[in-house]
Structure formats: C-alpha cells, structure tokens
Amino acid sequence: MTAELPPPSGPPQPNPDVDAPPVRATDPTAPTTAPAPAAAPPAMSSVWSTPGPSATPSTPSTPSAYTSSPASPLFPPPPGPGVPVPDAPAYQPTPMPGTNGLAIAALCCGIIGIFPIAAVVAIVLGAVALNQLKQRIQRGRGMAVAGIVLGVLWLLGWVALVVIGVLTDEPTRNPAGAVTRTSDAYVEDLKAGDCFSGAGRTEVDNVTIRPCASPHESQVVTIIAMPAGPYPGEDKVVAAAEKGCTDKADPLITDRAYDELRPSFIYPQDAFSWRGNREIICLVDAPKGTTTGSALK
C-alpha cells in the first residue's frame, strides 16, 4: 500500500506531460521568435470633415454598403421633382425648292376632268401631294386642293348624267311609232306626232312624253332641220322657224286644233345648242291646262 499524500499548497502547477501544447513540424531554419501582433487599423474619419492640423478628430462613421460617386455622363441621373424635362426637338419638314410635281399633275388632270379617269387621277394625285407637303417645305398646296375639287365636281357631273340617262329611258312605242306609256325623255327624242308636257319654259331640255289619249300640254306637228353651218343668230333662227312652221305645220293639223290650240316651236337659242341639234320642232299647245287626243289629221 502506498500512503496518500496531501494536495500541494499554492496554485496548481502545470503538468508538462499533459498541458504542454502540441509540437508542430517547423522549418529548422525559421526564426523561433513569435510574430509581432498586427497593427490596429486606423480610425475612419468622416467624409464631411476637413483635414488639417487644427481639425478636431471626429467620431468614426459606420461604413455604408453603397458609396456615392459622380454621375456618369453616359447615364445622367433622372430629374428630381419640380425639375422640368427638356422637350424633344420638334420635327422640321425638309425644305425643297420649286413646286410639288404631283400637285401640278393633279391640277392638270382636274382641268381635263371631262374624262372620268382624269377626274379620278386628279383626286388621287392631289391627296398624295398634300401628304407629301406635310413632310416637306414646298409650294403646290393650292394646286393640289384645286385638283381635288375639280376632280370631285367632274365626278359629280358624270354621276348626274348617268342618273338622268337612267331616268330618261327611250320612250316605248308601238309598231306605228305612237307612244304607249308615259316616260321622261330629252327634247331630241321627240318625233312628229308625240304628245308631251313640259314645253312651257324658257329653256327646254327634258320633257314627259305621254300617250295622246291622256292629258298633255303639247303635241309635235312636224320637225324642220336647219342647214349646216355656223350659228346664224337667234333672230334668223326665229324667223326661219315662224315661216317653216306656218308653211309645213298648218296643213297637218285638224280644224279643231287650228281653232282651239296655239301654235309654237322649240329652236336652238345659241351656238352651243346649235352644235348639238339644229332642228326646229313645230308644236301646238293647249292655251290653258291640258288637252286630250291628237291634233293631227
């Protein structure tokens, strides 16, 4: 048996076999001195303090995750509230010398719009010219507008002629040439013996042809063709009509028509009418209202 020894007095002593730190393999040529402790980082100063010998050290500020830097010229910062944004430069039409060619063509086609295709071309070219003049500084706007207006007017005139042509069909006649139903017609469509209404006007273009058995205002007795040549003047045409209708129409009407009806005639009143028709139409008219039956023998 071994006698138990009392614990030693004083602070505990390290055990060289147990408490010694582990031995590391080191380079035998390395110095055995311990490395000096790393120097403490210098204290941060505020970015708003002014350095100098008399500056009072300020309390270090806490570093931020974002740092400010001058704005890049490639990416300017957005304007703040209340700062006006500069307007984008306005579009400036391209100046071009002279007058727009399409505007000139539109006006020319509008002038000769008596041909329907020319009227349509005038409208199209005028619209294209106006669109071009919005993008360039050039003369010709008035010409383009005039071409469009003329083209529209010519087309309206052609439409009116077509409508009149549809409404004024060729009169329906029987084998003997007599009209069998009421229809609208031109004066040029009248034939000898036709009964109609609408002659009591200063200028007669269209009339309503009716069967002679129905009430009518006038009846054609005969038609006299004037000789070709330039328009001789209204006075000479009237004199020829009075003489020709007296000589050729009076022998063709009945005694009742001679007593009850009034003789008259339709004649070309100017050179324009003369170029289209040189005929003198001899008539008998009801003095008041209408009459019925034929006035011819």
- Write down which residue in 167, 192, 207 finishes a domain: 167
Q: Which of 134, 167, 200 is the last residue of a domain?
A: 167
254 and 201 share one domain: yes
Domain containing residue 115? 94-167
Q: Mapping DSSP to helix (H, G, I), strand (E, B) and coil, where does residue 196 land?
A: strand
Residue 131: inside a domain = yes
d(CA 52, CA 125): 81
pLDDT of 176 reads 81
Q: pLDDT under 70 in the chain at which residues?
A: 1-94, 96, 164-170, 201-202
- Residue 237's contacts (CB-CB under 8 Å, 6 or more residues apart) are 226, 231, 267, 268, 269, 280
Shared domain check, 203 and 157? no
Question: pLDDT value at position 198?
Answer: 86
Q: What local confidence, expressed as pLDDT, does residue 173 receive?
A: 81
What is the distance between the terminal CA atoms of the chain, rounded to a whole angstrom?
186
Q: Which two tokens stand for residue 145?
A: 């507008």
**The total number of structural domains that make up the chain:** 2
Closest C-alpha among 204, 265, 220, 263 to residue 240: 265
